[in-house]
A and B are shown apart, each in its own frame.
Chain A
Amino acid sequence: MLDMLQKLGKATLGFFERLGRGHLFLLQIFATIPGVLIRPRLILTQLYSVGVLTLPIILVSGLFVGMVMGLQGYNTLVDFGAEDSLGVMVALSLVRELGPVVAALLFAGRAGSALTAEIGLMKATEQLSGMEMMAVDPVQRVVAPRFLASFITLPLLAAIFSSIGIYGGYIVGVELLGVDDGAFWAQMQDKVDLRGDVYNGIIKSVVFGFVAGWIALYEGYDAVPTAAGVSRATTRTVVHTSLVVLGLDFVLTALMFGD
C-alpha cells in the first residue's frame, strides 16, 4: 500500500516536473524568436518540410472525409427531404470541427512525429551539444524555426483540408447523388457565418498548431538520447498531441458555441 502511494507520488511529481520544464522550454523558444525572424531562411526550409510535405496526406484525407460526409449526410437528410442542406452540413462540420481537429491529428502523425524523431536524434548524436560548443543556441537555430513553421502551417493545412473536404462532399452529393447544384452552394453561402464559423475554426487551428509544435519539439528536446528513448518520445508526441487536441477542442467549442 505504502509502496503504491510512493509510486503514485513519484509519478505525480514527475508529471508536474515535466510540465514545468515544458513551460520553461516554451519561454526559451519565445525568447529566441526575434533572432529567428531576422533569418527567414531558417523558417522557409521548415515551412517546406513541416508544411508542404504534409500536404499530400491532408489533401487525400480531406477529400475522403468530405466524400464520406456527403454520402452519410445525403442518406440521413434525404429521409426528411432536406438533401438540399447537404452543403451546409458538410461545410459547417468541416469548418468548425473536422478541419482543425483532423488536420491537427494528421499533422501530429506526419510532421509532429518527424520533428520529435529529428530533434531526438540530433540530441543523441551530440549535434545539439556540438552547436552549443560552437556558441550557437540550438533552441534558436533548430527549435524555434520549427515551432514557427508548425504554428504557421497548421491553420493553412486545416483550411486546405476543409476546402478539399467541401469539394469531396460536392462530388458525392451533387455529381453522383443528384443534389441540386445551386441549393448546395447557396445554402452554404447563406448559413456559414464568416465570424461565427470560419474565424472560430481558424482560432482552433492556430491553437492546435501552437500546441502540436510545442509538444513535438519538447518531446524531442527532452528525449532520452538513446534509440529506445527517441522511439518513446515519438510515440508520446503522437499520443499527447492527439489527446490535448481533442481535449482542447472540447474546451474551445464550449467557449465559442456553448451559449
Chain B
Amino acid sequence: MTEPVVEIRDLYFARGERMIFDGIDLNIEPGGVTAIMGPSGTGKTTLLKLIGGQLRPQSGSIRVFGEEVTKLSRQGLFELRKKMGMLFQSGALLTDINVFENVAYPMREHTRLPEELIRDLVLMKLQAVGLRGASGLMPSELSGGMARRTALARAIALDPMMVMYDEPFTGQDPISKGVLVKLIRELNDALGLTSIVVSHDVSETAAIADYVYLLSQGKVIEHGKPESLWVSKSEWARQFLDGSPDGPVSFHYPAADFRDDLMRGGLAK
C-alpha cells in the first residue's frame, strides 16, 4: 500500500478561545481527488493553511510527502511548497502584472529557464485552462471564473505533485463551475496529481471526488467514498448533504432566550 501524501494525526488548532480542530485524523491518498467539505466557518481553509505550513497547530502531527510540516524551518517549508500548488479563493493573482506574467512568475522565481522556453510553457499552461487568448489581459480585466483559471494555471506552473483548491466553485456561474469541475478532474488525471478540494458545494464536489471528508465543529463527522456518504445515517451528514435549514446545526446562532431578550427591551417596560 502506498504512503499517503498528507497524513494528519490528532490535530488541535485554536484561534484565541475558539477551538477550530479538536483532534482530527485525516489521510490524503496519492493520485486521487480528496474533498474536504463542511459548512462555512468549520476551518476548511485553515486546514489547507496548516497543510501548507502557513499556520502552526497547537498540537498534533501533519506529515506532507513524509515530512513533518510542524517542525520544518522556513527554508524547509519553502522547499516543500515547491511540490505543492494552491488555488486561493480570491485567485490571489499579482495585480500589477498581466496574466502571462502571473503564470510565468513561479517559473522565473524558481528556475533559470531561457525566455523562449518559459514562453512556451506558459502558453501550454494557459492553453490547458483555455485562456491562451487572454494572456495579455490584466487581472482587473478578468471575470471571477477567468481569474480562478489563471490562478490554476499558475498553481500548476511548476508541475507540482499536489494541488490544493480553496473553495474553487464559490461565486461562480454554472458554466464556470462546470469548467472548473472538468479542469480539476482532468488535470489531476492527466498530470498525475494529488488534489485536495475544500468546498461546500456538495453536488460539484461529490461529482469529482474519489474520497470525501465531512468536517464540522472541529471533528471529522463522516468520511468515505461519495456514494457511501449519501446513505450515511449521521444526522449531521444528512442535514449538510440535503441542505436542511435546521437540524444538528441550528438555524439560530446561540443566543439568550428569545422571550427574555424581548422582555429586557424598552417596549416591555
Q: Which residues of A are interface residues toward B (Cβ below 8 A)?
A: 122, 125-127, 129-137, 141
| Residue of chain B at shortest CB distance from A142 | B94
| Residue of chain A at shortest CB distance from B106 | A134
Closest Cβ–Cβ distance, residue B161 to chain A (whole Å):
13
- How many angstroms from the CA of A79 to the CA of B247 in the assembled complex? 89
Q: In the assembled complex, which residues on chain A have CB atoms less than 8 Å from the CB atom of B86?
A: 130, 133
Among A122, A125, A136, the residue within 8 A (CB) of B106 is A136
B182 contacts A by Cβ under 8 Å: no
Given contacts A125-B95, A127-B93, contact A133 B52 (CB under 8 A): yes
Given contacts A133-B52, A134-B81, A135-B79, contact A125 B109 (CB under 8 A): no
- How many angstroms from the CA of A125 to the CA of B94 in the assembled complex? 9
| Residue of chain B at shortest CB distance from A132 | B54
| Residue of chain A at shortest CB distance from B84 | A133
Closest Cβ–Cβ distance, residue B109 to chain A (whole Å):
5
B58 contacts A by Cβ under 8 Å: no
Q: In the assembled complex, which residues on chain B have CB atoms less than 8 Å from the CB atom of A132?
A: 52, 54, 81
| Residue of chain B at shortest CB distance from A130 | B92
- How many angstroms from the CA of A126 to the CA of B106 in the assembled complex? 16
CB-based contact B90/A126 at 8 Å: yes
CB-based contact A133/B54 at 8 Å: yes
Q: In the assembled complex, which residues on chain A have CB atoms less than 8 Å from the CB atom of B85?
A: 133
| Residue of chain B at shortest CB distance from A128 | B92
CB-based contact B52/A135 at 8 Å: no
Task: Pick 22 A–B contacts, CB within 8 A, sort by A.
Answer: A122-B95, A125-B90, A125-B95, A126-B88, A126-B89, A126-B90, A126-B92, A127-B95, A129-B88, A130-B86, A130-B88, A130-B92, A130-B94, A132-B52, A132-B81, A133-B54, A133-B85, A134-B81, A134-B105, A134-B109, A136-B105, A137-B74
CB-based contact B92/A125 at 8 Å: yes
Q: In the assembled complex, which residues on chain A have CB atoms less than 8 Å from the CB atom of B151?
A: 130
- How many angstroms from the CA of A137 to the CA of B85 in the assembled complex? 15
CB-based contact B92/A129 at 8 Å: yes
CB-based contact A135/B54 at 8 Å: no
| Residue of chain B at shortest CB distance from A125 | B90
**A-B complex: 8 closest residue pairs judged by Cβ atoms:** A130-B92, A126-B92, A135-B81, A135-B78, A133-B86, A134-B106, A135-B82, A126-B88
- How many angstroms from the CA of A157 to the CA of B40 in the assembled complex? 50
CB-based contact B78/A129 at 8 Å: no
Closest Cβ–Cβ distance, residue B24 to chain A (whole Å):
22
- How many angstroms from the CA of A136 to the CA of B111 in the assembled complex? 12
Q: In the assembled complex, which residues on chain B have CB atoms less than 8 Å from the CB atom of A126?
A: 88-90, 92
- How many angstroms from the CA of A126 to the CA of B52 in the assembled complex? 14
Closest Cβ–Cβ distance, residue A176 to chain B (whole Å):
46
| Residue of chain B at shortest CB distance from A136 | B109
B110 contacts A by Cβ under 8 Å: yes
16 more contacts with CB within 8 A, not counting A131-B94, A137-B74, are A122-B95, A125-B92, A125-B95, A127-B93, A127-B94, A130-B86, A130-B92, A132-B81, A133-B54, A133-B81, A133-B85, A133-B86, A135-B78, A136-B105, A136-B109, A137-B78
